[in-house]
Amino acid sequence: MRDSSFSALFGALSNELRMSTVANNLANANTTAYKKDKIAFHDTFQRFAHDYLGDAKPYLRDKDLWPRANVMARPRLSDQQIDFTQGSLQQTGNQLDMAISGDGFFKVQIGDEQLLTRAGNFVVDAEGTLMTPEGNPVIGGGGPVNIPPTSRVVVDGSGGIIVDGALVARMDVVTVSDLNELEKVGKNCYRLRSGSTADEIPAEDCTVEQGYLEKGNVEVVTEMVAMIETQRSFEAYSKVIKGDSELDTKLLTQVGRAT
């Protein structure tokens, strides 16, 4: 296979991944507190063995001992990260809707694991347990947050829940020392990657806003432009692969027949 075909193949596969990322961002544009994914690519150079050799020592011979360095660029996925840019806050008036302004997360219990989320569209069950719409309890003080059902609830800026003038619970509002160490685990939740050296720490530079929800940080127009760009790039790489295939066919049929 030609080197151009290899490069085009890697480019096409990279753009296929980029298209999947863009499509997922667009599909979650209206998801509460959704954080978009972003990816980057770079050229990886394929080197020959003699490219790593040192000086040819021209003072000992008049010609270079080794050929000149020859490298070939191959596009690769360089990095994939979550964009934790703050989304705009939308007022709902619902006393159980909460948004975090700043770097911070609510903690929720899913199975045996406590995960982080920015989505604060909470509900209360018949027993008074504060939970997500999927039925996962919100954590406060290391355990589920319970409030009297049908009560008028006031939430202060630090996540304290006040009922009839008395503090009945306080939600755990935390962050991590390095946001780049977080990974998505579904259901709009995050956790630290396995083996990460980042730590979970109290969130001090944030405020809980009651009666608001954070909107996703996806810019639809920007993502649509990225989708068109990705599609055009994929088509260009496909044409390179097709052109190389046609040249190989001619080489086998016409040149081979002439000899």
100/118 Cα distance (integer angstroms): 7
> Does 203 lie in the same domain as 170?
yes
Range of the domain at 232: 3-84+219-258
* Predicted pLDDT of residue 11: 80
* Predicted pLDDT of residue 72: 57
> Does 24 lie in the same domain as 57?
yes
* Predicted pLDDT of residue 7: 77
> Does 162 lie in the same domain as 145?
yes
Which stretches of the chain score pLDDT less than 70?
1-2, 41-79, 256-259
> Does 175 lie in the same domain as 137?
yes
Considering the entire predicted model, what is its pTM? 0.78
Q: Which two tokens stand for residue 204?
A: 């001090």
> Does 144 lie in the same domain as 33?
no
> Does 128 lie in the same domain as 199?
yes
Helix (H) or strand (E) holding 139: strand 139-140
- CA 48-247-259 angle, to 5 degrees, is 95
> Does 200 lie in the same domain as 129?
yes
> Does 194 lie in the same domain as 173?
yes
Q: Which residues is 45 bridged to in the sheet?
A: 73
Residues recorded for the chain: 259
159/102 Cα distance (integer angstroms): 13
* Predicted pLDDT of residue 222: 94
* Predicted pLDDT of residue 227: 95
What total number of domains does the chain contain? 2
> Does 11 lie in the same domain as 121?
no
> Does 13 lie in the same domain as 37?
yes
* Dihedral pair phi/psi, residue 9, rounded to 5°: -65, -50
